[in-house]
Amino acid sequence: MTAGPYLVRMRRRRAAGGVARLVASLLAAAVVVPTGAFAQIYRWVDEEGVTHLSSEKPPPGVKAERLDIPGTNKRSTSAARASYSTGKASQSGGTASVPAAQVAAREALLGRLRNRECVIALEALERKTGGAEPTSATEIRRLKQTAQLNCSEDPVRRREQEQQAMQLRMANSPSCTQARDRLADMMEPDAATPRDQLRTQQAFVDEHCTVPVR
């Protein structure tokens, strides 16, 4: 068993301050693409603080971040990540057709991003409505709107998202923080941890303490 790469990941997680920051970094990684595109996803936050994700342009006057799908034209990365303001002329002219493969890639990314927003909102709702931490009516309303906007209407898929929310809460719990820290300590070169104990600890982390959304 090679401890190096896994140990590095454990240390980075501790330095980042936990799973919440890890989720944010994963979201940032998802939107960095090497080229521009015609197949786009638009992301914006409304007055209620709810994040919207859509393959359609936002309402007039709404400033949104445009997340381009890689490999559809040769505009620069900086252009691909620039804010998009509805009403301004598109550099592409808005007339280019989008190949089916690019549409599929866009919809797949849109689905992942919406699922992430859903799972995070469901986990936060359970935590805040359960009295685990202070909240407000405004925050509860925002989280409910986020869940309604992004969670699936299919009962089977919704149950899967609720299960992911439970997994996320567990992964973000103090017990999992301690479990990951203990695993990192056990993998130190001078720890001399028996291999069976190391396997048991890693199995626990993999099963209970892995972030369920990417």
For the stretch 75-87, pLDDT in tens is: 433 443 444 444 4
State the Cα angle at 43 between 40 and 45, rounded to 5°.
Answer: 165
Q: Is the residue at 87 inside a domain?
A: yes
pLDDT, residue 132, reads 73
Q: CB-based contacts of 199: which residues, under 8 Å, 6+ apart? A: 1
Domain carrying residue 147 = 19-171
Q: Are 116 and 27 in contact (CB under 8 A)?
A: yes
In a domain, 53, yes or no: yes
Residue 88 Cα distances to 5, 67, 68, 95, angstroms: 46, 17, 17, 15
What would the mean pLDDT of 80-104 be, rounded to a whole number? 56
Q: Helix H segments across the chain?
A: 4-16, 19-31, 77-80, 100-129, 137-150, 155-171, 174-186, 195-208
Query: What is the average per-residue pLDDT within 172-194?
Result: 93
| Domain total in the chain | 1
Answer yes or no: is 94 within a domain.
yes
**Residue 15 burial (10 A CB sphere; 0-12, 13-18, 19+):** exposed
- How high is the pLDDT of residue 98? 66
Radius of gyration of the chain (CA): 20
**Is 42's pLDDT higher than 80?**
yes
The pLDDT of residue 148: 95
Q: Is residue 70 part of a domain?
A: yes
In a domain, residue 188? The reply is no
Q: Tell me the HSE value of 101 on the side-chain side, using a 13 A CA sphere.
A: 3
Residue 167, pLDDT above cutoff 80:
yes
Q: Is residue 183 part of a domain?
A: no
- 8 within some domain: no
The per-residue pLDDT for 100 is 84
Tell whether 142 is covered by a domain.
yes
Q: Which three-class secondary structure state does DSSP give residue 174?
A: helix
